[in-house]
């Protein structure tokens, strides 16, 4: 598997969901096409852009300009950065702004931002007038390869991650890879965890390609578009087969059962970005798999080494303030894991691994071995 030698024309990945299918348009500077695409998709529609303060500084005026150039009416609502906006209060702010703007069922909400903005705006769109269509314009690597695709929207509860939400597919995704140049190194690395996830769960050849090409992905060469497109194709294929996560779509949660618990334990704060939690969670899932005899220990080590090489945290001890807020308490972490949406009748469901490139769904995992595993991980120097 090799990347194209030069930046090429935009790549279009189709999410095949029948009459609810949509395109993911990937490439440098494709944001410039947003206005004309919206005008073709919904002639005469008005739009409301939902974004956060940081993204607004870099991209809101440009987005408004391309909409204006295409004759698309638009308004804006700007929320705070980070998971603190993905709450009841954030949902109220966005919903009331949409209602005040008289956004109707045939209009469009545009989510301009990372995963938090996409989840929040998409959920608000799903409940506004019992359903308004929306467009995803993801501005983080994590959102471009994961959260903008597949229709999962929602907010957090103080008791856990993404516990309130709805499946609501976008009608278009515009993934402009040039936008990623404004991300901090830490934000970009956090998104990279979700890229590596696709190789780890179902494509060993892609994982090997990432091991060889991660530096070019970070630097913004043609490998970046290739990595994003490959990730989107993998997710689109799974979503098309299992839109509402009744089966194999659960594989996309590799690392998330551990990771979401860690995010909750750190108060959904910038102490631990979502992708960082996923990175640690994937390593924990791999090591737990190896302990259960499902996966060679060498494969678990290979995954850990690659994520660490990229600069991601891979151990519980890598989290800022490790001794605080329940992070050093196996029972507290296990309790948070029981808020996972995949828990059934008091038993945990895990996405575990048999090898790099082969993840599996394991149901009815008893809590005691998980608690003991966490205790051993917490005791590491």
Active site residues: 130, 152, 194, 235, 245, 249, 253, 256, 260, 274
Joined tokens for residue 72: 């698309």
The answer to whether 191 and 228 have CB atoms below 8 angstroms apart is no
Cα gap 257→367, rounded to integer Å: 13
- Distance (Å, rounded) from C-alpha 54 to C-alpha 370? 39
Helices (H), ranges, the chain: 34-41, 53-55, 61-69, 88-100, 115-127, 141-142, 185-202, 204-219, 222-241, 256-265, 274-291, 297-310, 330-337, 367-378
**CB under 8 Å to 74, separation ≥6 — which residues?**
46, 47, 48, 49, 64, 67, 68, 110
Q: Which of 217, 227, 374, 221 is nearest to 309 (CA)?
A: 217
* Burial zone of 366 (CB within 10 Å; 0-12 exposed, 13-18 middle, 19+ buried): exposed
Q: Shortest CA distance to 28 belongs to which of 177, 223, 181, 179?
A: 177
Neighbours of 207 (CB within 10 A): 21
Could you give the C-alpha distances from 368 to 146, 181, 335, in angstroms and in order?
32, 44, 12
- Residue 3 dihedral angles phi and psi, to the nearest 5°: -85, 155
Distance CA 236, CA 363 (A): 24
How many CA atoms are closer than 13 Å to the CA of 190, on its beta-carbon side? Answer: 20
Is the four-CA dihedral 327, 331, 335, 340 of positive or negative sign?
positive
Cα–Cα dist 370/381, whole Å: 19
What single-letter DSSP state applies at residue 10? Answer: P
């Amino acid at each position: 598997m090799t990347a194209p030698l030069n930046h090429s024309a935009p790549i279009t990945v189709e999410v095949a969901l029948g009459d609810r299918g949509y395109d993911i348009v990937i490439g440098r500077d494709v944001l410039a096409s947003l206005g004309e695409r919206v005008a073709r998709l919904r002639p005469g529609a008005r739009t409301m852009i939902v974004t956060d303060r940081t993204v607004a500084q870099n991209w809101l005026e440009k987005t408004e300009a391309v909409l204006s150039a295409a004759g698309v009416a638009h308004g804006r609502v700007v929320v705070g950065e980070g998971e603190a906006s993905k709450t009841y209060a954030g949902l109220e702010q966005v919903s009331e702004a949409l209602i005040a703007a008289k956004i109707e069922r045939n209009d469009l909400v545009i989510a301009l931002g990372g995963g938090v903005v996409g989840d929040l705006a998409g959920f608000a769109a799903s409940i506004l007038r019992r359903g308004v269509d929306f467009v995803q314009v993801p501005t983080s690597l994590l959102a471009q390869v994961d959260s903008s695709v597949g229709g999962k929207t929602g907010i957090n509860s103080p008791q856990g991650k993404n516990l309130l939400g709805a499946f609501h597919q976008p009608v278009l995704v515009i993934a402009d890879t040039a936008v990623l140049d404004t991300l901090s190194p830490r934000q970009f690395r956090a998104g990279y965890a979700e890229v590596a996830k696709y190789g780890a769960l179902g494509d060993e050849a892609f994982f090997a390609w990432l091991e060889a090409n991660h530096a070019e992905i970070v630097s913004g060469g043609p490998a970046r578009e290739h990595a994003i497109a490959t990730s989107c194709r993998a997710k689109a294929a799974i979503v098309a087969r299992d839109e509402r996560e009744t089966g194999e779509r659960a594989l996309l949660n590799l690392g998330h059962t551990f990771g979401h618990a860690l995010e909750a334990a750190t108060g959904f704060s910038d102490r631990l970005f979502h992708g960082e939690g996923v990175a640690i969670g994937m390593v924990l899932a791999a090591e737990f798999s190896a302990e259960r005899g499902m996966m060679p220990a060498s494969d678990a080590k290979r995954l850990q080494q690659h994520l660490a090489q990229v600069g991601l945290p891979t151990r519980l001890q890598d989290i800022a303030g490790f001794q605080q807020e329940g992070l050093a308490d196996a029972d507290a972490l296990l309790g948070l894991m029981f808020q996972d949406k995949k828990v059934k009748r008091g038993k945990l469901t895990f996405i575990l691994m048999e090898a790099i490139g082969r993840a599996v769904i394991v149901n009815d995992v008893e809590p005691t071995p998980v608690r003991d595993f966490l205790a051993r991980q917490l005791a590491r120097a």
